[in-house]
Amino acid sequence: MAREKIYTREGDDGTTGLFYGGRVPKDSELPRAYGAVDEAQAVIGLVRTAAGHGSEVDAIVVPMMKDLYVLMAELATLPENRHKLTPGKSSVTSEMVDRLEAIIDDLDTKFDPPTEFVVPGEHPVSAWLDFARTTVRRAERQAFGAAPPPSYVVPYLNRLSDLLWTMARWQEGVSRPVKSL
């Protein structure tokens, strides 16, 4: 049996196909939005690598990375086809946003919040988390016009960036060496 090729050549004309049909220019609002989310997901993959598979950080980021596939499916769908999406499987739900808030609330109890501006780079994992946060913020800006309310895409990305900031501060606290007296 012949293996299907990864390339189709259909995008050579500068368009891309969308979930549930339709083609749009590759530089239009929807591909820009889901492309920014795809980039954020890749950076979160670097967080996983830096933290180590099987770590607490890994346990938090893998489900969020799966959520980002759901989010990208919603963004890769023309507005007139979004009624075909399945909540939690191909469109973001309020429960998905709530899960992020619960993780933030839990992590907030595990470190003292900073009392001044944070200078990124205190620890490799926190630096990657800060990079992921800024990438998610860009994705949020791109998604704003592509997924207007009642979509939960923007609230999810907003909360995700908050979570990544919280995780970075948590990791700084975990990795901070004990000062000798």
H-state helical runs in the chain: 29-51, 56-75, 94-108, 124-146, 153-175
Q: 162: closest CA among 124, 127, 130, 139? A: 130
User: What kind and span of H or E run contains 24?
Assistant: strand 23-25
pLDDT tens for each residue of 94-113: 999 999 999 999 999 999 98
pLDDT digit string, tens, across residues 12-47: 999 999 999 999 999 999 999 999 999 999 999 999
The structure's pTM equals 0.92
CB-CB neighbours of 111 under 10 Å: 16
- Domains of the chain in sequence order: 17-110+120-174 (1.20.1200.10)
Question: What residues does 16 pair with on adjacent strands?
Answer: 24
Q: Does the pLDDT at position 146 exceed 60?
A: yes
Assess whether pLDDT exceeds 70 at residue 176.
no
175 versus 170: the higher-pLDDT residue is 170
Which residue is associated with the tokens 């220019």? 25
Q: Per-residue pLDDT for 178 more than 70? A: no
pLDDT of residue 181: 41
| Tens of pLDDT, residues 122-143 | 899 999 999 999 999 999 999 9
- pLDDT at residue number 175: 59
